[in-house]
Each structure stands twice: as structure tokens, then as C-alpha cells.
Amino acid sequence: MPDSANAQQSDDVQQPDPIDDPTAIILYGGTGDLAKRMVLPAIYELFTRGLLPDQFRLIGNGRGDVSAEEFAKHIRDSLTEFSSAPDDDEFAEFAKNVSFAGGGFREDDPGTLLDAIKQLEEELGHKVQLVHYLSLPPVAFEPTTKAIKAHGLNYDTAKAVYEKPYGTSLESFHALDDLVHSAFDEEQIYRIDHFLGKEATQNLYLTRFANRLFGDVWNRRHIAQVQIDVPETLDIADRADFYDATGAMLDMLATHLFQVAAEVALEPPLSMDPEDVQAARESVIAAFRPLDPKEVVLGQYASYLDTEGVEKDSKTETFAAARLWIDTDRWRGVPFLLRTGKMMKESAQKVSLIFKPSDGPLDHIHPDANAIVFDLKGNGAIDIRLTVKKPGPDPLPAESATSLSLANVAPGSMAPYTSLIHDVLSGNRMLFTSSTGLESAFQAFQPMLTDARPQVEIYDDHSWGPPSAKELTGPCGWLLGD
């Protein structure tokens, strides 16, 4: 593509404004796996971009007795392993703002966290905004929230970030949400889903609303089905305790994939203001028809039971595929096919809109020859599959495809967690789901928690999952893997 057609380069990328309020980010589970892989690199990226408040502190919290120096070294090691080795001088400046409050944090024993906050406020001479980041297993959400409330750390300017899954059923969601709302107002609560922080996920609606080439065909008159496909080649690695208690449906399908489906299916919001976009997304989640267990396939990869930490008779699914229906005028009758799994043949994150056959003499073209495919990895790409004339004397059709890489559009884009944590600091709730939205998601998912849940089928490691999942797609087949 010639330079004249390129999107604006990095020096034109709009940077968000830095946050002015003095802030303490309290990272519960500060030395845990999620923190080192995602949260700590994101916070450090905000620091290097100048997007943290001038007066900020990162206070790690956990049961161990960890010094500030040890925690800083842990952060540096995490950056080297999961991001990139930091500049020595830059990291030294960052480390000045890092401390650790050990001894855990419970209703009956706050450990050293209250002392750490008091010391910080004495140093700064005033109170600070607290951001409670619960980088914890879901089982710890309840006791940590109770402790935050019991020790008076839930005042009006405080914010609370909760990881997924936020509840495991409609009943447990209500119980957790009632507890969280007893400590915080809804506007203080941020339920994080990093798929919504992806630049490429946000492209699903921005590309549609800004380009009639896409927007005018984004409906049931033209679309035969939508496929949201997130297979992974990885196993569950060192997440056995979490994963065996959670499974693919709660870990991926009822969280990430539901949210992406809503991004595809939402109606044009009144404006692109955060409140309007959030309202449009949650309005369409409310239109999700409850999953029919007969339209769901569950699987478990063959070597799963050999994993250390997995129960030998575990029925936990490592694969889930489902046919989701959205009862709006735009999408009624169009199946949304959702698929995710561990130890599959390829890793991908793709959203495919497959068109209905054209009217006229070429109505026999295979469905997968006419599709728009959004790649959600990294900065993303848009693949357009077309049927064109086959070279030669006869007017015969041939399949063709072209790909538009979006890497040149946003060379300065932020990682999903970086973007979302910045939104927490600035109070932008557009990419977070409200209590009402999550309730609707659990209502759609609830049938999978009944006795009608389908049996788990065993599939070969590094395959495309149970063969029966192909039946969900009808004549189209899965675009990826078939």
C-alpha cells in the first residue's frame, strides 16, 4: 500500500490525558499469576507513557512478608518475562512509587495495609484516591470486599476492579453483586474483561458505523451467520486449580465471547459517548436468548486428566461451542456460533460475518467464499473473502481474499489491560459491563447450569475439538479448520 494511503502514523496517535488525582493502586494478589502476566506490565506501561498521576503509589498486598525492594524486583522480573526488559533509569523512577503491605487483608486482621495507606497520606499531606484491584481468584472476592468495607476503605472516591468470572451462576452473581453494592455504588465498580479492551474488538463497531461498505449489510437480510472463534493451542498450564473449578464456558464463552457477540450485534448508539455505547451493548445482551443445551457441544482434551491438580474423574469442559440467538429485529433468525477450547490445532481470535448467497445465476457459491473476517489479535486485521472470475476464457467463479492489516493505523496502541486500567483511573466506563448487563448474560447462560447440560465429549489433543461441533454451523461449516 503506498504511503499516501496509509493511516496517520504514530506521531499523530492521540494519547489520552494523564490523570491528576493523587492515587494509590492497591493490588490484592500482587505477586500472583494474573498480576505478573497482565496487571503489572499494564501499570508499568501507563507509567512509561506518562499516564499515571504525578502522585501515585502501587501498593502490593498479599499474605507474605515482602519488602518494597523484593516487590520491585518481582515487578521487574515480570516485565522481563511477559513484556520487555525495562530501562534501568526509568524503572528506578517507577520503583520509588512501589511498596508492599503484607500479612494479608481480612475483616479481623488488615495486616499492614492500613498502615501503608496512612503512611502514604502522611507523606503526601492529604487523602488519596484508592483503586482496589482484586487480582485474585473469584473465591476471594467476597472476603476481600467485606474487609474493604469493614476497614472503611470504600469511601466515595474509591474504585474497585473485579476480574472474571464475576459469579458462577445467576444466583451466585446476585449474592456477590449485592455484597459489592453494599460497599460501593455502581459507578465505583469496574468488572474487567480484557477482550473489550482490545483495539480490534472496538473496531467491530467503529468500522461498521463509519463505513457504509460494512454498515449497510450488517443485518439479517444479508448475513447468514456470525462465527466467533477463539481456539487455543495451549493447555491449562499452571492454572489447574482455577480452571478445573471453572471450565471453558465460564472462563471464555459466557464472558469474553458473549461480550464480543454484543459488540457485533449492538444497535447504533445515540452517540459515541461512553454511557451511550455501554447502554447499546447491554441492551443487546438483554436480547440474548437463553442457551439451548441441545445447541451446545462440550469437550475435554484427551490428556486433561493427566494434568497435575486436576481431579481424576473431572468432567470439566476444556472446549465449548454454542449456537446463540439474539432476538432483535436486526439479528432475529441469524445464528451466532461461538467456539473456544484448549489444546486445539491452532490459536486464533476471529469474528466472521458470513453472507447469504447472492441472488441470480451464482447463487450456488459456497458460503465461506463470501465473508468478512475480523482478526482480533494484536492491532487486528480485516480479511475480505470474495468470489471473482477465474482467469481463462470461461466465466467461471473463483475464490479470492484480501487482508487489510490494521497495524499501520495505531502503531502507538495500548495493550488491552493498559487501556482498561487507564479507563478505571479516568472514570471511563464504556468498556466495562454494568450489573444489569452481567445479569442478562447470566440469564442467557443459566440453562447450562442445569441437569440438561450436555455430556462432555473427549477430543484428541491438538485437534479441532469434538466432531459434533461442526453440526452447529449447518451448511457453512467452521471457517477456521474446515
Return binding residues.
29-36, 63, 164, 194, 198, 232, 251, 342
Closest CA to 370 of 228, 217, 473: 217
Say if residues 287 and 262 touch (Cβ distance below 8 Å).
no
Q: Find cell 485437534 and name the residue.
A: 463
Look at the block and give the residue holding cell 499469576.
Answer: 33
Task: Please name the amino acid found at residue 447.
Answer: P
Binding positions for NADP(+) are: 29-36, 63, 164
> Which residue out of 74, 132, 256, 422 is catalytically annotated?
256
- Residue 6: exposure state from Cβ atoms within 10 A (0-12, 13-18, ≥19): exposed
Q: What is the CA radius of gyration of the chain?
A: 24
Distances (CA, A) of 164 to 167, 168, 412: 8, 9, 27
Query: Could you tell me if residue 112 is left (phi over 0), alpha (psi between -120 and 50 degrees) or otherwise beta?
Result: alpha
Tallying the residues shown for the chain, one arrives at 482
Alpha carbon distance 169, 358 (integer Å):
42
CB 40 within 8 A of CB 6: no
The question of whether 256 is a catalytic residue gets the answer yes
Query: Distance of alpha carbon 40 from its chain centroid, rounded?
Result: 17
CA distance 108 to 151: 9
User: What residues are labeled active site?
Assistant: 256
